[in-house]
Amino acid sequence: MKKIFCIAFCFIAAIAGAQVKEDFVPASNVQPGKQYPQVNSERCVRVKVSAPDAKYVQLDIGGVKYDLRKDADGSWIGESGPQDEGFHYYQLNIDGASVPDPSSLYYYGASRWGSGVDVPAADEDFYAVKNVPQGEIREIYYWSQISQSMRHTFVYVPAEYDKNPTKRYPVLYLQHGGGENEYGWPQQGKTAQIMDNLIAAGKAVPFIIVMENGSVTMPRPAGAPAGAPQGQRPAGAPQGQRPAAPQGQGGRPAGGMMGGFDFAGAFGNVLVNETIPMIDARFRTIPDSAHRAMAGLSMGGMQTKSICLAHPDVFSNIGIFSGGTITVSDADNTPTFRQTNKLVFVSFGSRELENRVPGFGDGTDPIQETTELKASGANAHYYISPGTAHEWLSWRRALYNFAQLLFK
Amino acid sequence: MKKIFCIAFCFIAAIAGAQVKEDFVPASNVQPGKQYPQVNSERCVRVKVSAPDAKYVQLDIGGVKYDLRKDADGSWIGESGPQDEGFHYYQLNIDGASVPDPSSLYYYGASRWGSGVDVPAADEDFYAVKNVPQGEIREIYYWSQISQSMRHTFVYVPAEYDKNPTKRYPVLYLQHGGGENEYGWPQQGKTAQIMDNLIAAGKAVPFIIVMENGSVTMPRPAGAPAGAPQGQRPAGAPQGQRPAAPQGQGGRPAGGMMGGFDFAGAFGNVLVNETIPMIDARFRTIPDSAHRAMAGLSMGGMQTKSICLAHPDVFSNIGIFSGGTITVSDADNTPTFRQTNKLVFVSFGSRELENRVPGFGDGTDPIQETTELKASGANAHYYISPGTAHEWLSWRRALYNFAQLLFK
């Protein structure tokens, strides 16, 4: 009831230009020395930009465009309605141009580098930078023979990694969503902060996390027209290196193919045949399936399902965040799954289940499916993030909960 | 003569809306899937942005605003005059709003995250990502007791670092310029690519590079008004932890103070008393002054001079890129300098010397000064980057040349 009142109040206040609650403070996403975006206690977002000759300026957030007001000094200022707790992509619309807010930090999502704002969450302490032993995010490039290109990857190592020069560690391969890239988990995902805090509190065992780019641009076959766009395979071109995808079950999309886009085949090939051997050679890993996990959000969750069911000998631990479930029939139809799998973790934001996002809430119930999987003998867990949608706070919380179950 | 013709041609062509040379290709700084900014063989930069309701749109680069033309589809498109080879910050001006180009990658400089474009350089191979043994950029946080805050730092380690678990390495502390931050050297500076390529070619010995944020926000003293802006010390507040700055020579600014801004004192204190001990504890360094260098560009070069002359027992190797020189009297007036210093490297872009940038080309001649320093017995070198100004190609080349002299 309180929430409905707040939504109605902020919305009407914003439309009418009436006063919203004047306790705005700069968000954590302001650039050094800048003051906007700001957030108030009603979780409304305020932006301000100088555009003296503009006819109109809007704040575009959460699928809604909010008109800004022009100040006497040529600045435009205004507020959104209340947002969910957590991280949201946004942009400004200046006379029809969709541009980043020049005051905010930038993140890659929605297929562009652009603005983001964190609405403080009641539980934000779990992803804060704190004075605890700090791990590292390591940025590396490596050569991919399959894609004939240098690939760019981030690797989290726990704080103790260099202090224990002979100890070996389990590895989690952790994937971003559609329209995002390998920067997603280190930046908006707060991976290092979540893990450092968990490990310092004794709630997670130390492990390595590899954050890859989930798309693979395949090289142009010899003889293809030079003008063909890079990364598109001409029709009929050999797909020789794509491993066989598992068969879909019960009307679900066949593993690896979604709307005709081969979202897991080429990536799964690179991941299993190039990334994992590179990581096992370069880092002190425990190179067996029991100590290897894959997880991902949204598209990355679908890739995780597809790749893990195709390679149950490679990954014994599975996390799917807002990207589907592992059903009893998935498990029964995957050879060796019942022997090799050690953990299945499925999560959603509560608003995703309320809203039944197409493709995720497809009439089935992930809680029921995961409960059934557990009853069938799997070590299956689910987590529902309260009050969040298909956004990063759902996935920060998913990692926080998944990490506490992993490799124990 | 050819250059003057090209400048005049592109400039007139841009103003008149006449055809510039139509061999534009996307720059290396386009976002994934985007096509702009582009650069042609005359080194003109072309941008395109959708802004259907805008009255005017301009490309703001190199201190000049170039008007864009409106296409029938509501897009604005246009070109700059020819730019120097190398990296340039730029922005769009949409009806008076200075905003990042929504198609470009973003970099921190000019005190904001914003657009940048690389005009291909004839020698760009030295900073390209190539299939050679790859080092890592490691992102770390550490607690600073002096500033009472977590500091954020990037550390480059060479490719062999984890393959030689008992070998110890020299360290270079490498600083950005004014209005930039710790992202400058890893991103626009191409530090890892320059070093990986140099080491693979046997032209540099492997060493560690620490890239710090050169500004330190000091904590508010107890009892200061709560409303005082963070990071500003109220007048009369204790400055107890600032080490004594060396005396300036010959009318130059006294080391550590520039226009009243204490740009090296607090940072030097953190660097010497906190960063170096942290790095020496966390990485396998050779923790003596002979195997420790400091270098920086512009403001970072002035910090380097100030800190190295105040601490000749800490740093025996000095690099100053577009930030001044070490004179004979600097050397003679610094106790132990003549015994401890192993290398002085000074560089400028040739256009800086042509243009005599205030504060850098202050009537003195850095080539002459460095030649005199060498004649006085120091291992002093200078490098002039051809055809570049106070910009990143000057500094990429400076690092490339400096690294080949270091620790040999």
DSSP B125-180: GGGS--SS---EEEEEEEEETTTTEEEEEEEEE-TTGGGSTT--B-EEEEE--TT-
The percent of residues in chain A predicted with pLDDT above 90, rounded, is 79
Name the residue with higher pLDDT: B214 or B353.
Answer: B214
Place B98 in a pLDDT band, splitting at 50, 70 and 90: very high
Position A128, amino acid: A
Residues of A in contact with B162 (CB under 8 A): 282-283
Query: Does the pLDDT value for residue A14 go beyond 80?
Result: no
Query: Does the pLDDT value for residue A222 go beyond 90?
Result: no
Name the residue with higher pLDDT: B253 or A15.
Answer: A15
Query: Does the pLDDT value for residue A225 go beyond 60?
Result: no
Contact A112 B31 (CB under 8 A): yes
Least confident span in A226-240, A342-356, B170-184: A226-240
Is-contact B293 B172, C-beta < 8 A? Answer: yes
List of residues 6+ apart from A226 with CB closer than 8 A? none
Q: Which of residues 56-95 of B touch A (CB under 8 A)?
A: 56-57, 74, 91-92, 94-95
Residues in chain A: 408
Q: Which of residues 271-290 of B touch A (CB under 8 A)?
A: 282-283
Q: How far apart are the first and last CA of chain A?
A: 41
Is-contact B394 B380, C-beta < 8 A? Answer: no
Identify which of A315, A325, A373 has the alpha carbon closest to the alpha carbon of residue A347: A325
Query: Does the pLDDT value for residue B235 go beyond 80?
Result: no
Place B322 in a pLDDT band, splitting at 50, 70 and 90: very high
Which tens digits make up the pLDDT trace of A311-320?
A: 999 999 999 9
Instruction: Tokens for B187, please give them.
Output: 């991103």
What is the pLDDT at residue A363?
Answer: 61
Average pLDDT over every residue of A261-282: 89
Query: Does the pLDDT value for residue B248 go beyond 50?
Result: no
* Whole-number Å distance between alpha carbons of B42 and B6: 7
* Whole-number Å distance between alpha carbons of A374 and A345: 10
What is the pLDDT at residue B362?
Answer: 56
* Whole-number Å distance between alpha carbons of A407 and B7: 63
Contact B136 A139 (CB under 8 A): yes
Query: Does the pLDDT value for residue A253 go beyond 90?
Result: no
Is the CB of residue B379 less than 8 Å away from at least one CB of chain A?
A: no
Segments of B3-85 assigned E as strands? 25-26, 38-39, 44-50, 57-61, 64-67, 69-70, 75-82
> Cβ atoms within 10 A of the Cβ of A140, count?
21
**d(CA B61, nearest CA chain A) in Å:** 16
The percent of residues in chain B predicted with pLDDT above 70, rounded, is 82
Is the CB of residue B102 less than 8 Å away from at least one CB of chain A?
A: yes
Query: Does the pLDDT value for residue B3 go beyond 50?
Result: no
Q: Which of residues 165-204 of B touch A (CB under 8 A)?
A: 165, 181, 186, 192
Average pLDDT over every residue of A269-291: 98
Map chain A to HEC letters. CHHHHHHHHHHHHHHHCCCCCCCCEECCCECCCCCCCEECCCCEEEEEEECCCCCCEEEEECCEEEECEECCCCEEEEEEEECCCEEEEEEEEECCEEECCCCECEEEECCEEEEEEEECCCCHHHHCCCCCCCCEEEEEEEEECCCCEEEEEEEEECCCHHHCCCCCECEEEEECCCCCCCCCCCCCCCHHHHHHHHHHCCCCCCCEEEECCCCCCCCCCCCCCCCCCCCCCCCCCCCCCCCCCCCCCCCCCCCCEECCEECCHHHHHHHHHHHHHHHHHHCCECCCHHHEEEEEECHHHHHHHHHHHHCCCCCCEEEEECCCCCCHHHHHCCCCHHHHCCEEEEEEEHHHHHHCCCCCCCCCCHHHHHHHHHHCCCCEEEEEECCCCCCHHHHHHHHHHHHCCCCC
Name the residue with higher pLDDT: A6 or A142.
Answer: A142
Average pLDDT over every residue of A47-74: 96
What is the pLDDT at residue B19?
Answer: 77
Contact A282 B165 (CB under 8 A): no
Query: Does the pLDDT value for residue A40 go beyond 50?
Result: yes
Q: How far apart are the first and last CA of chain B?
A: 41
Instruction: Tokens for A237, please give them.
Output: 């071109």
Q: Which of B92, B96, B186 has its CB closest to that of A50?
A: B96
What is the pLDDT at residue A221?
Answer: 66
Contact B95 A92 (CB under 8 A): no
Is the CB of residue B150 less than 8 Å away from at least one CB of chain A?
A: yes
Mean of per-residue pLDDT scores for chain B: 87
What is the pLDDT at residue A286?
Answer: 98
What is the pLDDT at residue A357?
Answer: 54
Backbone angles phi, psi at A104, to 5 degrees: -95, 165
Query: Does the pLDDT value for residue B231 go beyond 60?
Result: no
Contact B137 A142 (CB under 8 A): no
Is the CB of residue B17 less than 8 Å away from at least one CB of chain A?
A: no
Place B2 in a pLDDT band, splitting at 50, 70 and 90: very low
ipTM metric: 0.87
Query: Does the pLDDT value for residue A3 go beyond 80?
Result: no
What is the pLDDT at residue B260?
Answer: 38
Place A354 in a pLDDT band, splitting at 50, 70 and 90: confident
Least confident span in A293-297, B4-8, B384-388: B4-8
Contact A139 B138 (CB under 8 A): yes
pTM for the complete prediction? 0.88
Is the CB of residue A224 less than 8 Å away from at least one CB of chain B?
A: no
Query: Does the pLDDT value for residue A235 go beyond 60?
Result: no
Query: Does the pLDDT value for residue B4 go beyond 60?
Result: no
Which tens digits make up the pLDDT trace of B285-313?
A: 999 999 999 999 999 999 999 999 999 99
The percent of residues in chain A predicted with pLDDT above 70, rounded, is 82
Which tens digits make up the pLDDT trace of B34-50?
A: 999 999 999 999 999 99
> Cβ atoms within 10 A of the Cβ of B54, count?
26
Contact A282 B162 (CB under 8 A): yes
Which tens digits make up the pLDDT trace of A168-216?
A: 999 999 999 999 999 999 999 999 999 999 999 999 999 999 999 999 9
Identify which of B373, B205, B210, B361 has the alpha carbon closest to the alpha carbon of residue B283: B210
Average pLDDT over every residue of A302-308: 97
Contact A52 B131 (CB under 8 A): no
Average pLDDT over every residue of B254-261: 40
Q: Which of B51, B114, B130 has its CB closest to that of A96?
A: B51
List of residues 6+ apart from A127 with CB closer than 8 A? A190, A193, A194, A197, A396, A400
**d(CA A349, nearest CA chain B) in Å:** 28
Exposure string of B28-53, with b = 16+ CB inside 10 Å and e = fewer, is: bbbbeebebbbbbebbbbbbbbbbee
Is-contact B153 B278, C-beta < 8 A? Answer: no
Residues in chain B: 408
Which tens digits make up the pLDDT trace of A93-122?
A: 999 999 999 999 999 999 999 999 999 999
* Whole-number Å distance between alpha carbons of B140 and B297: 22
Four-CA torsion B201, B206, B207, B208, nearest 10 degrees: 90
What is the pLDDT at residue B22?
Answer: 97
